[in-house]
Amino acid sequence: MAVNTMPERPLLNREHAQFLLREMLRIRRFEEKSAEMYSLQKIHGFLHLYIGEEAVGVGAMQAFTPDDAIVATYREHGHALARGLPATVLMAEMFGKATGCSHGHGGSMHFFDASRRFYGGYAIVGGGLPIAVGLALADKLQNRQAITACYFGDGAVAEGEFHESLNLAALWKLPVLFLCENNLYAMGTALARHQAQTNISLKTGGYGVASNAVDGMDVLAVETATKLAADSVRSGNGPFLLEFRTYRFRAHSMSDPDLYRTKEEIEEWKKRDPISLFQIRLREWGMLTESDLARVEAEVSAEIEEAVRFAEVSPWEPAENLLNDVQGRATP
Amino acid sequence: MTYREAVRAALRKALQSDPRVFLMGEDVGRYGGAFAVSHGLLEEFGPERIRDTPLSESTFLGAGIGAALGGMRPIVEIMTVNFSLLAMDQILNNAATLRHMSGGQFHIPLVVRMATGGGRQMAAQHSNSLEGWYAHIPGIKVLTPATVSDAYGMLLAAIRDPDPVFLFEHATLYPLEGELDEAAEPADITRAAVVRSGKDVTLITYGGTLGKTMQAADHLAKQGIEAEVIDLRSLRPLDNPTIMNSVAKTHRAVVVGEAWRTGSFAAEVSAQIMECAFDDLDAPVARVCSAEVPMPYAKHLEQAALPKVEEITSAAQGTISRHG
């Protein structure tokens, strides 16, 4: 499965190693708490958890600067946390509170943060790709050095916009990094049941777009591959596509009975849990002690508890404001 | 100056005055635009700002949204409204929602121009009038310039607007001649215009049917009926006060539009009059719309399907004869 071969012990310092672990744990614990809050009916609507895919969100985000633009999907809690959106405003958003990152207008699938160039979660599969192409065009036309990172899943590969966007970005040599999170299922339809060619990284050849397939359960492989690809995009070589081979351990959403895959398959993938695997490696390399782990877990736990407390005590947006933010001030 | 030249003059003025403005769409550059609107602009402004696109409506419309998010002022030309259906997801789910869904953090200063309407024997896939579908959507503005001066002034206003603005240019209007003051300010895109005053009946229309409606008003005048004609100009926002003030005076209304009758924008105007001015009415609101058929190719069939001057005249007479 792993296409990239990583050195046994990469050039990695202890501080960065523990940072990556901590970031993945933040997402894992945030998602577990979100599921709990959904069960308690604090969170409603659709809730798509990122559990199992943390290495992709965290590893890839290390390649981007604050000037870069991020376009995400409806399974974007991991991207948002890794981008630096505070857990407090994300939890408040899912509670529907006025303090949420989208003022309670978006919910779980539509996190936004202008200050971090986080251009949102898109809930129409493939719908974010043209937006990313346009953001990159704007950067290029204004001679900014930024690149645009565009996350999407394997399901999006079946959409026309995937093909149109690869073509247009390549044709205009735009600085877009396409990040395909291949978790093997488009909701409940397995990749092999919706794609004639299941090697997604091979699909870019027809558009002249460089690509690479990466073990999405290995945060270091993800980080290294994304930095290389981002460097290529930054150098003006046009778009690049990375296919991260990963797996979601939870159902597609909270309302999915998960009848389309076997328990054995899920258990097999859980053996490659990105967080457990990374912990084992760090211990082997002498970069993580039991007390380090306990401290990180405690800090993460406190952060998530604070997020829930913040969401609980935050006010609701007054219903009188219902029609605000539909249009700007009309010009005379 | 023609309507086509007026649109081009507005594009040129915007491109000259604002470096963030650029035009993209199918064949807008080297071809000069399917309706020759952008003829000469590639030579004047270069390929960075006059961008030919692949036949990927959803993606270049979406790229327009992204570029607007990124600080540009894109103008996207979609060759005809029929092709805009391929971009409907981007329009409805992204362009119209992002300001609200982001809690007001983002806005989309995007202009989309498209040719619309029938009357040129283009048959069922190139003759639709779907402006009412678009006017259904909160979060966007829908403009229907019907005159040379509006073709110019409304486009300039659209480019200054902070939100997505859709301009429906009826394709039969491109050769229309009219006066234009190129020093004119951007038009007010929130108001309808009373383009002919009268006291007996209000004829309400927009875009491609303004000419026929004005002809009908001439015919009615010869019969001693003074029709007031309103050009809506903007379907969203809709200028209700201008409509209701007129109906309060004439007590009768006929709504004319080229779309199919069922669920048409004419139906919306009729409902608004019912809700806001029922007590002013001396007769039910009448509508003149296209026949409920995919647009036929043959000229006599197409003309039979489109609203006719005689139908407008007759509908107006009907609202008057009802109560003597």
Band of the pLDDT at B184, cuts 50, 70, 90?
confident
Using one digit for the tens of pLDDT, what is the confidence trace for B16-49?
A: 999 999 999 999 999 999 999 999 999 999 999 9
Residues B31 and B102 grouped into a single domain: yes
User: Is the model's pLDDT at A3 over the cut of 80?
Assistant: no
Band of the pLDDT at A90, cuts 50, 70, 90?
very high
Alpha-carbon distance of B3 to B154, in angstroms, equals 12
Residues B197 and B168 grouped into a single domain: no
Please list every residue in chain A whose beta carbon sits closer than 8 Å to the beta carbon of residue B186. 331
Tell me what pLDDT residue A1 has.
43
Range of the domain at B313: 193-321
User: Is the model's pLDDT at A2 over the cut of 60?
Assistant: no
ipTM given for this complex: 0.95
Looking at the complex, report in whole angstroms how far the Cα of residue B23 sits from the nearest Cα belonging to chain A.
13
Q: Of B140, B173, B206, at which residue does a domain stop?
A: B173
Tell me what pLDDT residue A284 has.
96
Q: Residue B90 gets which letter from DSSP?
A: I
Residues B118 and B222 grouped into a single domain: no
Kindly state whether residue B186 falls inside one of the protein's structural domains.
Answer: no
Alpha-carbon distance of B40 to A290, in angstroms, equals 71
Residues B7 and B117 grouped into a single domain: yes
Using one digit for the tens of pLDDT, what is the confidence trace for B120-140?
A: 999 999 999 999 999 999 999
Looking at the complex, report in whole angstroms how far the Cα of residue B76 sits from the nearest Cα belonging to chain A.
12
Looking at the complex, report in whole angstroms how far the Cα of residue B56 sits from the nearest Cα belonging to chain A.
6
User: Under an 8 A CB cutoff, do A120 and B107 touch?
Assistant: no
Residues B70 and B130 grouped into a single domain: yes
User: Under an 8 A CB cutoff, do A325 and B99 touch?
Assistant: yes
Domains and CATH numbers, chain A: 14-312 (3.40.50.970)
Size of interface A-B (CB pairs under 8 A): 157
Residues B159 and B202 grouped into a single domain: no
Alpha-carbon distance of B22 to B45, in angstroms, equals 9
Number of domains in chain B: 2
User: Is the model's pLDDT at B205 over the cut of 60?
Assistant: yes
Q: Which two structure tokens, joined as six digits, stand for B79?
A: 């060759």
- pTM assigned to the model: 0.95
DSSP string for A56-90: HHHHHHTT--TTSEEEEESS-HHHHHHHT--HHHH
Of A119, A122, A331, the CB nearest to B157: A331
Of B59, B89, B190, the CB nearest to A330: B190
Kindly state whether residue B178 falls inside one of the protein's structural domains.
Answer: no
**In chain B, at which residue ranges do the beta strands (DSSP E only) sit?**
21-25, 50-52, 73-80, 111-116, 141-143, 165-170, 193-196, 201-205, 227-231, 234-236, 253-260, 286-290
Kindly state whether residue B147 falls inside one of the protein's structural domains.
Answer: yes
Tell me what pLDDT residue B324 has.
45
Mean pLDDT score across all residues of chain A: 95
User: Under an 8 A CB cutoff, do B67 and A141 touch?
Assistant: yes
Kindly state whether residue B184 falls inside one of the protein's structural domains.
Answer: no
Kindly state whether residue B183 falls inside one of the protein's structural domains.
Answer: no
User: Is the model's pLDDT at B161 over the cut of 60?
Assistant: yes
Confirm whether B126 is a catalytic residue: yes
Using one digit for the tens of pLDDT, what is the confidence trace for A28-68?
A: 999 999 999 999 999 999 999 999 999 999 999 999 999 99
Kindly state whether residue B242 falls inside one of the protein's structural domains.
Answer: yes
Residues B18 and B158 grouped into a single domain: yes
Tell me what pLDDT residue A330 has.
54
Looking at the complex, report in whole angstroms how far the Cα of residue B164 sits from the nearest Cα belonging to chain A.
9
Kindly state whether residue B182 falls inside one of the protein's structural domains.
Answer: no
User: Under an 8 A CB cutoff, do B104 and A329 touch?
Assistant: no
The CATH number of whichever domain residue B168 belongs to comes to: 3.40.50.970
Residues B290 and B205 grouped into a single domain: yes
User: Is residue A122 less than 8 Å (CB to CB) from chain B?
Assistant: yes
Q: What is the mean pLDDT of residues B253-259?
A: 98
Alpha-carbon distance of B317 to B201, in angstroms, equals 9
Percentage of chain B modeled with pLDDT above 90 = 97
Q: Is the peptide bond before A7 cis (omega within 30 degrees of 0)?
A: no
Tell me what pLDDT residue B284 has.
97
Residues B224 and B96 grouped into a single domain: no
Q: B127: left (phi > 0), else alpha (psi -120 to 50), else beta? A: alpha
Which of the residues B57, B77, B131, B311 is marked catalytic?
A: B57
The answer for residues whose C-beta is within 8 angstroms of residue B324's C-beta and 6 or more apart is: none
Using one digit for the tens of pLDDT, what is the confidence trace for B266-302?
A: 999 999 999 999 999 999 999 999 999 999 999 999 9
Q: Pick from B247, B242, B240, B236: which is nearest to B285 by CA?
A: B247
Residues B236 and B168 grouped into a single domain: no
Among A214-223, A315-324, B109-118, B154-163, which is the least confidently predicted range?
A315-324
Residues B169 and B205 grouped into a single domain: no
Using one digit for the tens of pLDDT, what is the confidence trace for A136-193?
A: 999 999 999 999 999 999 999 999 999 999 999 999 999 999 999 999 999 999 999 9
Tell me what pLDDT residue A10 has.
57
Kindly state whether residue B91 falls inside one of the protein's structural domains.
Answer: yes
Angle at A44 between CA A41 and CA A50, to 5 degrees: 105
Residues B143 and B258 grouped into a single domain: no
With residues binned 3-state (H G I as helix, E B as strand, rest as coil), the percentages for chain A, rounded to 5, are 50, 15, 40
Please list every residue in chain A whose beta carbon sits closer than 8 Å to the beta carbon of residue B90. 127, 130
The CATH number of whichever domain residue B269 belongs to comes to: 3.40.50.920
Identify the closest residue of chain B to A97 by CA–CA distance.
B103
Tell me what pLDDT residue B218 has.
98
User: Is the model's pLDDT at A331 over the cut of 80?
Assistant: no
Q: Pick from A25, A56, A30, A52: which is nearest to A43 by CA?
A: A30
Please, which residues bridge with residue B50 across strands?
B23
